């Protein structure tokens, strides 16, 4: 073999080895995960949710938002009485009423009453918020008539036996004492005092041990006769019944309520204190828990969607928010730092919460402020905006999981005055937000330094 | 990994006890891939969405001594990147595509789940499959998550006296069984875990044959079959033989009391727990206990409500039961006594009430209770999230689809005699632990905070 041939052979071998090596590398290298391609070629395509929201009016003139759904065999009705929440009456009274209503009505004493519900799979519950007294009833659709008559009975002829009033009062007082075992609860109660001052919104829904102790059967009767009426009632109904049956249900359940709510005491104008002096509560626990508050905007304002998205980017979007990427993922400082947008009409606010070991508190605080200040500079990128929009558009249908979730959503639409066509318009609202909008809003709201309130051992922060 | 991270999976029973007898509940389908992954599909066409849940049969009960918290830490690390989807891309992709996703670890299992728009189900399945086969744990991610689970433990347990006490009680109740350690692990254990420990659990347990995939939503069995074959059918993973099946039943029958005063406790509480047969130990007894607990302390008109709450002997009381587990079952009675009363008197009251409840029981009451338990069956089919959870949970414990569909029969077949016999046996022979937590009595001269 000539030298030349030899060299050729060697070169050949080297060449083939290199090619082989390159191929090997190529096959070993992770095949990049192409999410976009995967979604575009997805076996299951995007579908529109077709069920529609209607406004129905019953024979007696009661209106409700309604969604018919023949793909289930249950139905849910959600409702609230407006201006009947815990700020409008004696402390703890709305909550006491909400509990005692479930202890018998009409011809059914407590025991028969609860048997009737349980044997037919009917669930009935009440709760209160600051502004509203809320109820929800869910039932297998074949017991529609029974469910309607039970609800009517509860709202118009509850038994309110002294025995159950006493039991419930004791349980509420115990629950209030138990709140003092939970640092998170102590913190949020203290926050309400700082933020709402002496306004009734500073109350706890349960009231206080002293106030509950003083409540009487007459108070409950007064509460019901003042607040349960047609003109402050909002109704939503969803599930496997047609509009005719839905109307009948509404008339049966609510038709015998009085027309007009009685005038309640004037509630003083709320002047929430967004700038209260930072406050610390001592508690011998291994972590410091922090709550923050800053001004925000209301649900129907033009700033709502941009600010909602800005909050998502800052701290609302669980693991992927700016705050969690730095504080949790990069630094391991906290199990989670979260922020939310509360659109309370009198006191719209951006709230934040995080907890961390005492020795990490300074760093955690710095991270929070540093990320907050970045927002104030209008630093949201097009990519961040696109991602949050994509999230809001693709998660749109997740609100339709259960019938009860749907009826409570239909009620929320009324509470916030979103309009009957909200579901058709919502995605356009999301799409219309521009980078300029979101950065303008981000600069506007994050320029205010939040107020802080903390609980834990001594707070070593020095500023 | 956030909200539910080490929640005791009790909630299932509320849903389970609502099944109607003699009919299939879910009308679900199942199939196995070649690599033995079990896949369960149930159709729910109410909305164009789907719930995906992937259950691994590994929980804190499978941890080796001193390695407490490992299953939970691995659950966290599953969100920190694979060779194909590095670092936090998983979270970003899931979030961008609108998935409502999370994970949790219990004593029995580790569960990953997402609720998604139908058009993103394939993406979510691809990502879930990817992390079954290709997890990579960087040093940075390991150290980060170790810190995070330490913070999580402080937030959930150490900040709250009741949660700390609960761990002490569990230790005694489950002494010398794989359930005795807290799911989170102790602080020292967490600090001593290594990346290699986590990888070992991953290699051993995160295999197709040790998992159950559940999809419930606007899909057909065929849809899910195509997608599961496409993404989960890989068998490249070096599968070690699974360790021997770990389950246990407690034979011990001692009586224990644990009493503690703690600072920052405001309200005294008392709990008595009995170790009872699980559905695998003895299905007949397990179902009998479920019916008894409903009658005794779960129903709106429970025996306790009639005889203890209405008569003002206690402020509040209830009972709970857990028979669907890899280990033994447990039945508990919870009391909130009046603060000013001598706590010892409640021991007698508890004994007396249980015995009297059994003496007062009639066959009619049993029938009524069973009817109540089965009446809300239809609601299970109304929510794909509940349905996926129940299907996957029971399948992971090892029930066949047929057994799951016919679960209500178990309740329906319970007789008066079964309940009497089972409860009596429990009162006489079962291991029981009574725990009492009371406020710290103030010592004079010391200022109270």
Q: What is the pLDDT of residues A227-249, one digit of tens each?
A: 999 999 999 999 999 999 999 99
What residues contact residue B202 under an 8 Å CB cut-off, 6+ apart?
Answer: B74, B135
- Give residue A6's pLDDT: 65
Give dist(CA A441, CA A447) in Å, integer.
10
User: Which residue does chain A place closest to B308, by CA atoms?
Assistant: A167
Are residues B449 and A284, on separate chains, in Cβ contact within 8 Å?
A: yes
Task: Write the residue in B83, B98, B122 that is nearest to A42 by C-beta.
Answer: B122
From chain B, pick out residues whose CB is under 8 angstroms from the CB of A120.
375
User: Which residue does chain B place closest to A103, by CA atoms?
Assistant: B300
Are residues B95 and A391, on separate chains, in Cβ contact within 8 Å?
A: yes
- Tell me which DSSP letter residue A450 carries: P
From chain A, pick out residues whose CB is under 8 angstroms from the CB of B162.
181
Please give the domain boundaries of chain B with CATH numbers for all domains.
12-232 (3.30.830.10), 255-439 (3.30.830.10)
Q: What burial letters (b/e) apply to B321-352, b meaning 16+ CB within 10 Å?
A: bbbbbbbbbbbbbbbbbbeeeebeebeebbee
Backbone dihedral angles phi then psi of residue A335, each to the nearest 5 degrees = -70, -20
Are residues A320 and B92, on separate chains, in Cβ contact within 8 Å?
A: yes
B239-261: average pLDDT: 77
pLDDT at B103 over 50: yes
Per-residue pLDDT tens for B43-87?
999 999 999 999 999 999 999 999 999 999 999 999 999 999 999
Task: Write the residue in B155, B227, B368 that is nearest to A335 by C-beta.
Answer: B155
Instruction: Give A 21-60 residues with CB within 8 A of chain B.
Output: 30-33, 35, 38-39, 42-49
Give dist(CA B169, CA A320) in Å, integer.
37
pLDDT at B1 over 50: no
Residue B341: pLDDT band with limits 50, 70, 90: confident
- Give residue A176's pLDDT: 98
Instruction: Please give the share of chain B, as a percent, with pLDDT higher than 90.
Output: 83
Are residues B301 and A398, on separate chains, in Cβ contact within 8 Å?
A: no
Q: Name the token pair of A28.
A: 């070993």
What count of Cα atoms within 13 Å lies in the side-chain half-sphere of residue B190?
24
Give dist(CA B80, CA B68) in Å, integer.
21
CA distance B205 to chain A (A): 23
CA distance A39 to chain B (A): 6
Select from B48, B141, B261 the residue whose CB has the most chain A CBs within 10 Å, as the one to mutate to test that interface: B48
Are residues A319 and B88, on separate chains, in Cβ contact within 8 Å?
A: yes
What residues contact residue B274 under an 8 Å CB cut-off, 6+ apart?
Answer: B330, B331, B332, B426, B430, B431, B432
Alpha-helical segments (H) within B154-274 = 161-173, 187-192, 195-205, 221-232
Alpha-helical segments (H) within A29-135 = 35-40, 93-100, 110-119
Please give the domain boundaries of chain A with CATH numbers for all domains.
54-254 (3.30.830.10), 279-405+417-456 (3.30.830.10)
> Could you tell me whether strands A349-357 and A279-282 are parallel, antiparallel, or unpaired per DSSP bridges?
unpaired
- Give residue A262's pLDDT: 85
Instruction: Give A 69-88 residues with CB within 8 A of chain B.
Output: 69, 71-74
pLDDT at B368 over 60: yes
Give dist(CA B247, CA B177) in Å, integer.
9
Instruction: Give A 410-449 residues with CB within 8 A of chain B.
Output: none
CA-CA-CA-CA dihedral for A103, B301, B13, A409, to nearest 10: -10
Q: Name the token pair of A30.
A: 């992770």
Give dist(CA A379, CA A11) in Å, integer.
56
Q: Is A318 in contact with A338 (CB distance < 8 Å)?
A: yes
Are residues B98 and A403, on separate chains, in Cβ contact within 8 Å?
A: no
Q: Is B397 in contact with B278 (CB distance < 8 Å)?
A: no
Are residues A119 and B372, on separate chains, in Cβ contact within 8 Å?
A: yes
Are residues B381 and A73, on separate chains, in Cβ contact within 8 Å?
A: yes
Are residues A332 and B79, on separate chains, in Cβ contact within 8 Å?
A: no
Are residues B160 and A167, on separate chains, in Cβ contact within 8 Å?
A: no
- Give residue B344's pLDDT: 87
Give dist(CA B281, CA B289) in Å, integer.
13
- Give residue B247's pLDDT: 73
- Give residue A8's pLDDT: 61
User: Which residue does chain B place closest to A35, by CA atoms?
Assistant: B123
Select from B2, B47, B94, B305 the residue whose CB has the most chain A CBs within 10 Å, as the one to mutate to test that interface: B47
> Chain-centre distance of CA A381, in angstroms?
27
Alpha-helical segments (H) within A200-257 = 209-213, 217-227, 243-254
Cβ–Cβ contact A125 with B under 8 A: no
Average pLDDT, chain B: 90
> Could you tell me whether strands A233-239 and B110-117 are parallel, antiparallel, or unpaired per DSSP bridges?
unpaired
> Could you tell me whether strands A349-357 and A287-295 are parallel, antiparallel, or unpaired per DSSP bridges?
antiparallel
- Tell me which DSSP letter residue B113 carries: E
User: Which residue does chain B place closest to A185, by CA atoms?
Assistant: B160
Select from B4, B26, B42, B117 the residue whose CB has the most chain A CBs within 10 Å, as the one to mutate to test that interface: B117
Q: How many residues does chain A have?
A: 463
- Give residue B246's pLDDT: 66
Per-residue pLDDT tens for A84-125?
999 999 999 999 999 999 999 999 999 999 999 999 999 999
Q: What burial letters (b/e) apply to A23-47, b meaning 16+ CB within 10 Å?
A: eeeeeeeeeebebeebbeebbbeee
- Give residue A419's pLDDT: 97
Select from B140, B151, B165, B268 the residue whose CB has the most chain A CBs within 10 Å, as the one to mutate to test that interface: B151
Q: Name the token pair of A352.
A: 């934040």
Q: If you search the block for the tokens 């021991």, which residue do you land on?
A: B347
From chain B, pick out residues whose CB is under 8 angstroms from the CB of A356.
151
Residues of chain A with pLDDT under 50: 1, 28-30, 462-463
Cβ–Cβ contact A287 with B under 8 A: yes
Give dist(CA B166, CA B274) in Å, integer.
15
Give dist(CA B275, CA B252) in Å, integer.
9
- Give residue B200's pLDDT: 94
From chain A, pick out residues whose CB is under 8 angstroms from the CB of B127.
33
- CA angle at A31 for the pair A28 and A36, rounded to the nearest 5°: 175
CA distances from A40 to A243, A264, B50, B123, B332 (A): 39, 57, 18, 10, 52
Task: Write the residue in B115, B155, B309 that is nearest to A287 by C-beta.
Answer: B155
- Give residue B347's pLDDT: 93
User: Which residue does chain B place closest to A69, by CA atoms?
Assistant: B46
Give dist(CA A439, CA B386) in Å, integer.
40
Instruction: Give A 256-285 residues with CB within 8 A of chain B.
Output: 282-285
Instruction: Give A 381-410 residues with CB within 8 A of chain B.
Output: 387, 390-398, 400-405
Per-residue pLDDT tens for B16-41?
434 443 457 899 999 999 999 999 99
Q: How many residues does chain B have?
A: 449
* Residue B49, strand partner residues: B117
Closest CA to B128 of B40, B53, B71, B65: B53
């Amino acid at each position: 073999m000539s030298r030349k041939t030899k060299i050729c052979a060697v070169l050949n071998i080297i060449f083939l080895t290199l090619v082989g090596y390159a191929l090997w590398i190529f096959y070993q290298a992770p095949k990049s995960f192409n999410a976009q391609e995967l979604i575009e070629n997805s076996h299951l395509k995007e579908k529109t949710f077709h069920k529609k929201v209607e406004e129905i009016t019953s024979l007696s003139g009661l209106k409700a938002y309604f969604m018919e759904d023949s793909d289930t065999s249950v139905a849910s009705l959600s409702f609230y009485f407006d201006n009947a929440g815990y700020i409008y009456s004696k402390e703890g009274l709305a909550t006491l009423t909400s509990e005692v209503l479930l202890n018998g009505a009409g011809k059914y004493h407590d025991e028969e009453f609860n048997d009737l519900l349980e044997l037919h799979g009917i669930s009935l519950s009440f709760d209160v918020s600051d502004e509203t007294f809320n109820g929800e009833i869910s039932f297998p659709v074949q017991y529609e008539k029974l469910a309607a008559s039970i609800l009517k009975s509860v709202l118009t002829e509850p038994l309110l036996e002294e025995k159950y009033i006493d039991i419930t009062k004791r349980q509420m007082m115990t629950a209030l004492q138990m709140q003092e075992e939970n640092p998170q609860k102590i913190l949020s109660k203290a926050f309400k005092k700082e933020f709402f001052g002496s306004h009734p919104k500073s109350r706890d829904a349960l009231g206080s041990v002293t106030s509950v102790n003083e409540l009487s059967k007459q108070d409950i009767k007064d509460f019901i006769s003042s607040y349960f009426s047609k003109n402050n009632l909002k109704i939503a109904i969803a599930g496997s019944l047609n509009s005719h049956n839905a109307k009948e249900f509404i008339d049966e359940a609510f038709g015998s309520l009085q027309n007009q709510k009685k005038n309640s005491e004037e509630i003083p104008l709320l002047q929430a204190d967004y700038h209260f002096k930072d406050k610390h509560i001592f508690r011998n626990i291994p972590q410091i828990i922090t709550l923050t508050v800053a001004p925000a905007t209301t649900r129907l304002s033009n700033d709502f969607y941009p600010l909602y998205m800005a909050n998502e980017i800052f701290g609302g979007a669980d693991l992927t928010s700016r705050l969690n990427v730095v504080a949790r993922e990069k630094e391991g400082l906290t199990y989670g730092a979260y922020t939310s947008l509360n659109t309370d009409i009198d006191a719209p606010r951006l709230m934040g919460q995080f907890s961390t070991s005492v020795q990490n508190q300074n760093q955690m605080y710095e991270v929070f402020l540093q990320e907050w200040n970045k927002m104030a500079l209008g630093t949201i990128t097009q990519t961040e905006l696109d991602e949050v929009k994509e999230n809001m558009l693709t998660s749109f249908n997740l609100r339709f999981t259960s019938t009860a979730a749907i009826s409570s959503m239909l009620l929320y639409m009324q509470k916030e005055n979103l309009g009957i066509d909200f579901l058709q318009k919502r995605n356009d609202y999301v799409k219309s937000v521009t980078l300029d909008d979101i950065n303008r809003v981000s600069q506007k709201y994050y320029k205010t330094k939040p107020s802080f309130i903390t609980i834990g051992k001594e707070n070593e922060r020095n500023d | 990994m956030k909200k539910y991270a080490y929640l005791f999976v009790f909630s299932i029973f509320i849903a389970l006890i609502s099944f109607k007898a003699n009919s299939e509940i879910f009308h679900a389908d199942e199939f196995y891939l070649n690599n033995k992954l079990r896949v369960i599909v149930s159709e729910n066409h109410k909305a164009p969405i789907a719930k995906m849940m992937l259950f691994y049969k590994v929980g804190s009960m499978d941890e080796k001594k001193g390695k407490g918290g490992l299953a939970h830490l691995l659950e966290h690390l599953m969100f920190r990147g694979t060779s194909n989807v590095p670092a936090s891309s998983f979270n970003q992709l899931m979030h961008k595509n609108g998935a409502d996703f999370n994970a949790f670890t219990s004593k029995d299992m580790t569960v990953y789940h997402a609720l998604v728009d139908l058009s993103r189900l394939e993406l979510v399945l691809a990502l879930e499959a990817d992390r079954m086969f290709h997890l990579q744990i960087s040093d940075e991610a390991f150290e980060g998550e170790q810190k995070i689970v330490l913070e999580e433990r402080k937030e959930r347990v150490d900040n709250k006296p009741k949660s700390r006490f609960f761990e002490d009680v569990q230790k005694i109740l489950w002494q010398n069984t794989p359930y005795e350690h807290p799911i989170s692990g102790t602080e020292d254990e967490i600090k001593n875990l290594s990346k290699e420990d986590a990888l070992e659990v991953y290699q051993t347990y995160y295999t197709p044959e040790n998992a159950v995939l559940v999809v419930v939503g606007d899909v057909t069995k065929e849809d899910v079959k195509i997608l599961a074959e496409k993404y989960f059918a890989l068998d490249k993973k070096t599968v070690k033989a699974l360790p021997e099946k770990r389950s246990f039943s407690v034979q011990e029958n001692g009586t224990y009391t644990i009493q503690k005063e703690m600072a920052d406790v405001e309200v005294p509480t008392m709990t008595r727990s009995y170790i009872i047969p699980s559905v695998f130990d003895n299905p007949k007894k397990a179902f009998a206990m479920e019916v008894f607990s409903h009658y005794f302390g779960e129903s709106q008109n429970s025996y306790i409500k009639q005889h203890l709450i209405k008569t003002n002997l206690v402020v509040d009381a209830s009972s709970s039961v857990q028979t669907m587990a890899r280990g033994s079952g447990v039945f508990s009675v919870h009391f909130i006594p009046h603060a000013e009363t001598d706590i010892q008197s409640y021991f007698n009251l508890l004994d007396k009430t249980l015995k009297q409840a059994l003496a007062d029981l009639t066959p009619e009451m049993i029938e009524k209770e069973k009817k109540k338990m089965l009446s809300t069956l239809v609601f299970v089919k109304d929510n794909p999230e509940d349905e996926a959870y129940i299907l996957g949970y029971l399948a992971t414990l090892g029930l066949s689809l047929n057994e799951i569909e016919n679960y209500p029969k178990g309740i329906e077949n319970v007789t008066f005699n079964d309940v009497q016999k089972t409860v009596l046996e429990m009162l006489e022979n079962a291991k029981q632990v009574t725990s009492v937590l009371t406020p710290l009595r103030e010592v004079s001269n010391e200022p109270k905070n």
